[in-house]
Amino acid sequence: MLGNLILYLLSRAIPVMVPVIRYDSSGNKWYTWNAEHTGYSFRYFIQQHRLETLTAALWLLILVGLAIAFLNRNFIQAILRKRPFLRKRNPASPSLHPDDCTDTQSGNSYQEKNR
């Protein structure tokens, strides 16, 4: 996705030759190319710099990634198990702060036990 974003941003920063579209009296569309007529277009940027294959590969990678994520229902759950900081915290769960911990056998808090 980052590759497509970079290509899009470059297409908005680098001017390329774009066609001038004119209509005749019968309504036919005519494209006229002039090197002095430039603009910012993702489509013509990709064509002018011959990036069609790269763009297609990047879009294919995005589609494959989305397919894997949607087809494998345990995919997101597996990620959350590996990275617990991404999970929503249950407000009913006990705090893991040392000040809140007590020794269940002696009843002493963590602070009192380690003084």
Residues spanned by the domain of 60: 2-71
> Per the domain annotation, does 91 fall within a domain?
no
In whole angstroms, what is the distance from residue 41 CA to residue 45 CA?
6
**Residue 76 one-letter amino acid:** I
> Per the domain annotation, does 57 fall within a domain?
yes
> Per the domain annotation, does 54 fall within a domain?
yes
pLDDT digits (tens, 9 = 90+) for 58-98: 999 999 988 887 777 676 677 777 766 555 666 655 555 55
Q: What is the mean pLDDT of the chain?
A: 79
> Per the domain annotation, does 87 fall within a domain?
no
**What pLDDT does 103 receive?**
55
In whole angstroms, what is the distance from residue 39 CA to residue 32 CA?
14
Token couple for 45: 């940027």
pLDDT digits (tens, 9 = 90+) for 45-60: 999 999 999 999 999 9
pLDDT over 80 at 19, yes or no: yes
Neighbour tally for 114: CB within 10 Å? 8
For residues 37 and 86, which has the higher predicted lDDT (pLDDT)?
37
In whole angstroms, what is the distance from residue 82 CA to residue 87 CA?
10
For the entire predicted model, the pTM comes to: 0.55
